[in-house]
Amino acid sequence: MTVRQRTVLADGRELFYFDSAPGRDRDAPDLRTELPETSTTSQVRWDPLFHAHTVIADHRQSRIFRPPANLCPLCPTRDGMHTEVPAADYEVVVFENRFPAFAVDSAQTVPRVTTPPFQSAPGDGRCEVVCFTAQHAGSFARLTHAQARVVIDAWADRTRALSEIGSIEYVFCFENRGADIGVTLSHPHGQIYGYPFVPPRFYNAARTARRHRERTGRCLQCELLAAELGAGERIVSESAHWVAYVPFAARWPYEMRVVPRVHVPDLPALADELRDDLARVYLDVLRRFDGLFEAPVPYIADWHQAPVRQDRESWHLAAEIFTIQRAPGLLKYLAGSESGAGIWINDVTPETAAARLRAANTELQRTNP
């Protein structure tokens, strides 16, 4: 059973330690007494032409950019170096981002403008950092099953907590891995965003799922999963409770969707046996990505959870993992069609991608960081 311990950093931000068993001493105080309080100016602006939000957060320009390993702020506090984590060791730790795109105190400093066409509101949400391990070198794929299970429990715990904040409408757990993705800290970590709105992609998916349920009485994701299992050619990995497959209309050269066989809306709804099984399948999937080419690939992994307050009955939880690498040494760039028109052109057929992922060397992660 995962155990959570809460503390407060010197500037007032919350931090949570997650451990696989009780009895771990995580009581070390944050000794950075001169740490300035965080100041956020996050603003959400509305684009009436394209019916979408844009987040303006110019305070993030001063965030840390690729520090050397001996100055990593996500490592434990050791040998006189005080980091974001006061304890000398940890299993998994979650804390409020020091340079957040959203913050619940934005409403105190950012005005709300309701007169069209220039409508805006405070970025009244929350951003958290999730450190998967105290070890600086490595990746999620190198975690043990027990370590991965603690991360899953942390995701679920924080999803539940952020969903209780009145201004938050969507909780998004994700990981960016690799310099080519744009990661500024190499320590194995991810993030959790509590958006004050439902992002357009998930808003549209929720609306589609709701309409399908109203029309047929069935879950669209369940039907897609059954169809993929029937076709078989895009299935990469499966277990008693989870299926990982390359979507029929995959956008990225190598993209996988990890879906529970049972209909659940979000991570907190997963029973213990589903979380245990997920740890195994999720590690298998990440190791397949790392085994595609000569070295581990840059990727984005994220969770598609139900919106906090709408369309929860019709939503079916899923994870999405994709890499921007299309071949050894070659990246998939978003050019005119993708960035300008929003229409993806995939250079690898989903069936070919699935075959290559099935054949990927899952042992590569043992020898490559």
Q: Are 108 and 37 in contact (CB under 8 A)?
A: no
Say whether 212 is catalytic.
Answer: no
What is the Cα–Cα distance from 175 to 186, expressed in whole angstroms? 12
Catalytic residue among 189, 241, 304, 316: 189
What is the Cα–Cα distance from 216 to 222, expressed in whole angstroms? 12
DSSP letters, 3-69, are EEEEEE-TTS-EEEEEESSS----------TTPPPP----EEEEETTTTEEEEE-GGGGGS--S--G
Collapsed DSSP state (helix, strand, coil) of residue 142: helix
Q: Measured between alpha carbons, how far is residue 81 from residues 22, 185, 301 in Å?
A: 27, 17, 31
- Decide: residue 176, CB within 10 A, 0-12 exposed, 13-18 middle, 19+ buried: middle
HEC letters along 180-233: HHCCCCCCCEEEEEEECCCCHHHHHHHHHHHHHHHHHCCCHHHHHHHHHHHHCC
Catalytic residues: 189
